[in-house]
Structure 1
Amino acid sequence: MRSKVLLAVSLVASAWLAVPAAAQAPGQAPATGEPTKIRFTLDWKISGPHAFYYWAKQKGYFAAEGLDVTIDQGEGSAATVTRVMTGAYDAGFGDINAVIQNAAAKPGEQPVMVYLVYNRAPYAVIAKADGPIKTLKDLEGRTVSAPAGSATLRLLAPLAAKNGFDAAKVKILNAAPNLIEQMLVQGQADAIAQFSVTSFMNFVAMKRDPEKDFRWFMYSDLGLDLYSNGVMVSQKLLKEKPAAVRGLVKAINRAVMDVAADPDAATTMLTGLEPLINADIEKQRLVYTIKSLMISPETARLGLGDLDDGRLAGAIKTVADAYGLEKVPDVRAVFVREFLLPAAERDIAAAAAKAK
């Protein structure tokens, strides 16, 4: 009898172990129960728009997809690409235009974007309204301050090519991200190259009027109809663990919709993680980012996370021409949409409309 019982238990155990991996939920780790570890890098130091990623972690959305995600702060949206390419990180939030450059220079090594967050590019050159910079041509011989590794600085050359000024004649002064606006206000730089959402709210924190006190040169208004930041993954993660990529995208999208619907709760969470940030400013920055960069006619049509292939192809050509890239990457080498949820679940405008 004892031997029959042991045989039955053995058969049940064998049958359980024989369940194929395909039966597991998307993103789930193997039957051992061990989660898939993902090292995720941000583009900057923690601020309002980073609430999406921390919310996904704090609320257990990553864990629900079988993921153990470690989030680190960044050194620039273009630097995110380098961090992922070197293998230091598996995924990150960074600039799609830096992906384009690396897809041309090192095909097969570049990260691939799987979820576009900023449908509109926030790149801007900003000068004092009463200063010497009245046109982009005035930048020649002047000093522009920007964080090293920032996408806005990287794209100054394409901006120059489109607008007839010589980027080589512009003096670049690198500074820490938290000092850029001060460099302009204190006269240490004639202009700055920065994300509009970053500078706008930093000026508010400095008790300056962003619209009256400064002159804004938006790249998107000056011939560079580009996309911007989103979630990218390494080639290794994409090829070896596609279920983990699907789970990562699902968790982040879920968090984005939650945060858009309740920016107050998201900001409270951020201040719990980083008490030194200004909760009021970061909430305003978060809401400003959602309204100005994430809600657009295109996201209304396609849903947040997706993009228009024709527009991306145009952006790729713009970057390739400006940098003299020997190869023009294919859209698929830069962005893949296979991991996106249905568009109805990515309706950012509907989520934001729920906010109080």
Structure 2
Amino acid sequence: MPMRAVQSLIACCLAAWVCLGSQMGRATETGHPLAVGLSFDRPIDAGAAPLIVAMTDGLFSGERLNVTPNIVAGSPEAIASVASGASEFALVDLNELIRFRSQGSAPVKAVFVLFNKAPYAIVARKSRGIHVLSDIEGKTLGIAASDLSAGLWPALAHQNEIRLDQVKQSAISAAVREPMLSAGQVDAVTGFSYLSAVNLRDRGVPADDLAVLRFADYGCDAYGFAVIVNPAFAAKQPDAVKGFVRALIAGIGLTLRDEGHAVDQVLTQMEQGSRELELERLHAVVRDNIMTDEVNRNGLGGIDPARLERSIDQVGEGFKFAKRPHAADIFDDGFLPPRADRLIN
């Protein structure tokens, strides 16, 4: 074959390779978005509003990211999805990630903490004699084994000098938690404050009969939901991870400025949903979990390493570690913008 023909053939192959590369989802200088998957560990509700707003209001696309959401069955499955590369990102319970890393598993890390305080709570009926945490002695506590609040409960009880042998623990499924409490079959249940408490009010339990005993108010240092990333993806596409974080911060800002709009966007992702109920849920999440004193001081998304170390110990009290992880195994702050860009004015 003549040399000129060989050169032409090589040029054609190179052009085809470049075209194929752009079609495989790589962000290019021409503006093609990078396709990434985002796993949610439970059905979408107002607790995920900042991420939904980032998707629906063009904040991710403004960072040249084409984000495709999918729902999986719990944080362990979402973490496994990211570890395997099936999803690039996931929103998971950070304490489940602590358990995952304690097993010597893949080096998946969180890059942004959405819930600065975990939503774990004991939701009780005041009419059953429970007003503060110490009142739980002598009562029946329904515990759903699937909730990580069950694993942190022993540490919380020890910290508050509650005798566990004086609390009757009833193993229940998450599906019957609120019905059993509203029917009086148990005196209190473990769960998420913004889920169980709001759902119970929706079931007709008077708000003034509910005692919402948040673990964070009784010495629990745990962080809540956080965004994790596939380590190989983060190494190859660091700018994409930084762009994802920037879009999420912008999504939080928009959510805070117009909670009604944020809930309307969430409702587009729900098969059935009540605007009134999701607005109440979002109010609770923003107040109790996202916009905390620590966030107001230090900005969105980060962690206090000393606090995270304490929370790891608290998780380990309920779940025995094969190998205790450290804060640096759990969180990578290298993708966060400067503090000034993470403060909400």
TM-score, normalization: structure 2? 0.81
Deviation at 1:152, TM superposition (A): 2.0
- Matching residue of 1:191: 188
Return 5+ residue gaps in structure 1 as ranges. Answer: 1-10, 19-26, 351-356
> Where in structure 2 are the equivalents of 1:148-227 lying within 5 Å?
149-163=146-160, 164-166=162-164, 170-176=169-175, 179-210=176-207, 212-227=208-223
Q: Deviations over 1:257-305 (max 9, x none)?
A: 1111111111222223336211112112112211221222211221011
Compared CA separation, residues 62 and 317, structure 1 to 2 (3 A) = same
> Where in structure 2 are the equivalents of 1:110-149 lying within 5 Å?
110-131=107-128, 138=136, 142=140, 144-146=142-144, 149=146
Does the CA contact (< 8 Å) of 1:44 and 1:76 recur in 2?
yes
Matched, 1:245 2:241: yes
Does the CA contact (< 8 Å) of 2:152 and 2:314 recur in 1?
no
Does the CA contact (< 8 Å) of 2:152 and 2:317 recur in 1?
no
Question: What is the identity, as a one-letter code, of the residue corresponding to 1:279?
Answer: R
Deviation at 1:333, TM superposition (A): 0.9
- Matching residue of 2:5: none
In the aligned structure 2, how far is the partner of 1:174 from the partner of 1:61? 37
Matched, 1:342 2:341: no
Does the CA contact (< 8 Å) of 2:36 and 2:89 recur in 1?
yes
Does the CA contact (< 8 Å) of 2:44 and 2:269 recur in 1?
no
- Matching residue of 2:49: 51
> Where in structure 2 are the equivalents of 1:1-356 lying within 5 Å?
29-30=27-28, 35-77=33-75, 80-107=78-105, 109-131=106-128, 138=136, 142=140, 144-146=142-144, 149-163=146-160, 164-166=162-164, 170-176=169-175, 179-210=176-207, 212-274=208-270, 276-348=272-344, 350=345
In the aligned structure 1, how far is the partner of 2:90 from the partner of 2:185? 32
Does the CA contact (< 8 Å) of 2:156 and 2:219 recur in 1?
yes
Does the CA contact (< 8 Å) of 2:34 and 2:64 recur in 1?
yes
In the aligned structure 1, how far is the partner of 2:82 from the partner of 2:183? 36
Compared CA separation, residues 98 and 92, structure 1 to 2 (3 A) = same
TM-score, normalization: structure 1? 0.79
In the aligned structure 2, how far is the partner of 1:140 from the partner of 1:79? 36
Moved more, 166-175 or 192-201: 166-175
Question: What is the identity, as a one-letter code, of the residue corresponding to 2:170?
Answer: K
- Cα RMSD over matched residues? 3.4
Does the CA contact (< 8 Å) of 1:159 and 1:222 recur in 2?
yes
Q: Percent identity?
A: 27
Question: What is the identity, as a one-letter code, of the residue corresponding to 1:262?
Answer: D
Deviation at 1:114, TM superposition (A): 0.7
Secondary structure of the equivalent of 1:170? strand
Compared CA separation, residues 219 and 79, structure 1 to 2 (3 A) = farther
Deviation at 1:34, TM superposition (A): 5.0
Moved more, 324-333 or 249-258: 324-333
